[in-house]
Amino acid sequence: MSNEDQKQHLWIPFEEVEEVTKKPMRITEDKGLDHAEHGTKLSQGLMEIMTAYDKLKSGDSLSEEDIIVFKLVLPEGETVAGQQKFIEDEGMKINAVKDSRHAIVTSSKSMFERLSGRVGTYKDHNKLKGYQNIEGFEIYTAEEKQASSLKRYLEQQKDALTIDIQMMFIPHLDKDVQSKAVVKLEEKIQQVEGKLQRRPYQLSDGTAVIRALVPMSSVNNLADDGAIYRIEQTAFFQIMTPSSLNPFSSAFAIDPNVDVDSLPVVAVLDTGVEFPSELEQLVPIHWEASGCTGYSHYHGTSVASKVVFSHIGLQLTNEHLIPRAKVIDCKIYGQANVAQDVMIERIREAVESFASLTKIFNLSSNIPRPIEGDELSIMGYELDVLMSKYKIKFVISAGNHSLVTNCATLEEILEDDEIRIAEPADAMLGITVGSIVGAHHNLSVSKVNHVAPYSRIGPGFAGFYKPDLVAYGATQYSDRSVPRDPFSIVLAPRGGFFDDCGTSFTAPVVAGDLAELSSVVPNNDVILAQALLYNGAQQLWDTRKITQDEAEYIGNLYGRGLSAPQISKYSSPHRVSFLRTGTLNRLTKQRVKFHVPTVQAQASGNNTTRVTITCITDPPIDKTKGSDYLGAYIRASVHKLDKSGKNVGANPKVSDNMNKWDTCYHFSNTFSRFSAGSWEVWLELFTRWGIENDDEIPYALVVTVEDLTQTNDIYSEIIRETAGRFQPISNVRVTVR
């Protein structure tokens, strides 16, 4: 886009928003169950729970506490959220939700006896009909507490003597109860000849975690403990060196026309950044987390070069390099492998140190195995907590795999279960980035614009789409070598270049893209910049006659598409973006106006106009609620003026990014016959239990109107026809939330 075509996006003021009162409703229906038969099943479950409690009580960490732990199961169609009040009124505390129908609950012995009596009343007298909404009470078994990856490891590594595990306690235990249980479990670990790897630590919600090296034979015994919610193998974040590096050199000189001081800033959480002296001004701060002194690796420098220059390989024939961002060097690796618990502490330390200087943090680190998806990973959750607390964004690599070494085709790779994203790429509030191939190579199994041979894909936690975006990267051959092209080239420490591949080097491309956009939106609002980036992402597939299943499959390959900040950064004569930030509560809906000009309504031909809607929600989070992790989402729908001027709904029938309970609602639709004037985006907030009716949930909205014929200056027409209703964002000052 030429400088003459670069136009400021338009701001949607509050005056263009109509608020409509909403009245949430819930209808309760009688399920018509045989109360005697159903009640007998419930009573049997309670008796089995008490039998197991008495059997295990003597050696349990909760043995001296008046607490019984068990599992609650609801029937299809019911949710823990919907039955929360009944569950709690019946004396059960909801400690953790596995999914919408399964919860781990606790009760005192006296309340458990009361529960048994009330179930008996339901069974014998058909009273207390709320129990028809309970399918069963079950023992929370040791097997259920073990992560699937842990069980596979125990089965496959039978000759191993010990294993490094993390044991997460039941969430929402009383602090004193948890503290005493921690001490008792430490003693139990010593009794089985295990060894604590560090002092017990707590997640951000206060849940205790013990990391220990224990005999393989003791895992089931430890999992039987009533205080334990989940056991998983300790994750280690690794910096991997590719099988081949091709160093080469070039001169460095920054374009003198670039005002380096005004460039946006991204924090790079990695192994350290060592730019050559000619580029050192692009790294104004070098910082090391506690315990990271001494270790050096090329990875951090290469990652930083992608933030600063995007694809530096496209600039090497130029006289000067043109940077687009600066980086804060946050060194979080003190060795090649860093345990998950240590990594959490170092990332927290970095965010606390630099959240006042930048809102964008790049993390190109993953564990080497895919997520399981039934539980949000510990690191994914901790990143979400930091994003929610400090209003920052992590841009995260999707992770890499080595399937190309034994798979002959990309199709074979994509069908393998090992290709799923790796922790912490499942963080729901972050931006997860995958890789697609940017240049043609005859020996590559991936063609241009196809998923790179090493890049992990979705789905993410609880089946949500991941990655969020993709960016161009290198390809990789079956011998793991990396052919040279403009997308493979990364900067080496202290000067020179390498060829390398991995999602480690596409995540920072998107981090730099986000930084570019944050520099042009009011108040450098990073969530609005995220919405703008998603809104301009380029689809790499043909949406004509696409089925919903195909759309969902594509969504887990490419997310919302290829990051394209050059499209998102400015409006143009043919493409106009309307921006807004605001809040919604559960009792109010909003109808947000934007304008489609007369010249478009008069255009001849089919599919002349495309409207793209992106709404990013900043929802509350709660790890203990399982698949109900996100507390809110906003549903968006576009309403056009039809040929008769009537306001009608106009969402597409098929889309891969219109999902309930996700952080982003994103879709496009094309139009041929319509009336000009004020079209609307209708926004409606949906919340889960624990969110009050008057809680205000922030959102960022981007609406783009595009002339697909590329003939009309719709920007000028919108400005003329709306007479100042929508102001260029350079003139806007928005109250910071």
d(Cα 61, Cα 169) in Å, to the nearest integer? 11
d(Cα 381, Cα 353) in Å, to the nearest integer? 20
Contacts for 151 with CB less than 8 Å, ≥ 6 apart: 143
Give the three-class secondary structure for 528. helix
d(Cα 450, Cα 47) in Å, to the nearest integer? 56
Query: pLDDT-based confidence at 296, cuts 50/70/90?
Result: confident
Residues 719-737: tens digit of each pLDDT: 999 999 999 998 666 664 4
* pLDDT of 243 over the 60 cut: no
Mean pLDDT over the full length of the chain: 93
* pLDDT of 56 over the 80 cut: no
* pLDDT of 555 over the 70 cut: yes
Distance of CA 285 to the CA centre of its chain: 28
Cis peptide before 467 (omega within 30 of 0): yes
Q: Which range scores top for mean pLDDT: 282-286, 295-299, 726-730? A: 282-286
* pLDDT of 696 over the 60 cut: yes
Pairing type for strands 677-687 and 588-596 reads antiparallel
pLDDT score of 82: 86
| Over residues 134-157, mean pLDDT | 94
- Of 508, 473, 501, the closest CA to residue 270 belongs to 508
pLDDT score of 513: 98
Across 641-656, b (16+ Cβ under 10 Å) vs e yields: beeeeebeebbeebbb
Is the separation of the CB atoms in 602 and 677 below 8 Å? no
Helix (H) or strand (E) holding 86: helix 84-89
545: left (phi over 0), alpha (psi -120 to 50) or beta: left
Query: pLDDT-based confidence at 159, cuts 50/70/90?
Result: confident
pLDDT score of 589: 96
* pLDDT of 54 over the 90 cut: no
Distance of CA 611 to the CA centre of its chain: 25
Residues 365-380: tens digit of each pLDDT: 999 999 999 999 999 9
Q: What percent of the chain has pLDDT over 70?
A: 96
pLDDT score of 703: 98
The string of DSSP letters for 27-40 reads: --------HHHHHH
* pLDDT of 5 over the 90 cut: no
| Over residues 137-161, mean pLDDT | 93
Give the three-class secondary structure for 555. helix
Positions of E strands within 63-121:
68-73, 93-99, 102-107
Pairing type for strands 10-11 and 632-641 reads unpaired
Angle, CA of 558, 443 and 484, to the nearest 5° = 80
pLDDT score of 526: 98
d(Cα 670, Cα 149) in Å, to the nearest integer? 45
Give the three-class secondary structure for 337. strand
Residues 450-498: tens digit of each pLDDT: 999 999 999 999 999 899 999 999 999 999 999 999 999 999 998 889 8
* pLDDT of 98 over the 80 cut: yes
* pLDDT of 27 over the 60 cut: no
Pairing type for strands 469-473 and 431-437 reads parallel
Contacts for 721 with CB less than 8 Å, ≥ 6 apart: 595, 597, 598, 676
* pLDDT of 250 over the 90 cut: no
pLDDT score of 472: 98
d(Cα 515, Cα 509) in Å, to the nearest integer? 10
Contacts for 415 with CB less than 8 Å, ≥ 6 apart: none
Number of residues that make up the chain: 737
Angle, CA of 576, 578 and 584, to the nearest 5° = 160
Query: pLDDT-based confidence at 183, cuts 50/70/90?
Result: very high
- Of 150, 137, 147, 142, the closest CA to residue 106 belongs to 137
DSSP annotation of 426 reads T
Cis peptide before 620 (omega within 30 of 0): no
pLDDT score of 731: 66
pLDDT score of 117: 95
Pairing type for strands 697-707 and 575-584 reads antiparallel
Residues 634-690: tens digit of each pLDDT: 999 999 999 999 999 999 887 767 888 999 999 999 999 999 999 999 999 999 888
Phi then psi for residue 197, to 5 deg, are -85, -20
pLDDT score of 252: 85
pLDDT higher at 246 or 193:
193
Give the three-class secondary structure for 696. coil
Minimum mean pLDDT among 258-272, 402-416, 597-611: which range? 597-611
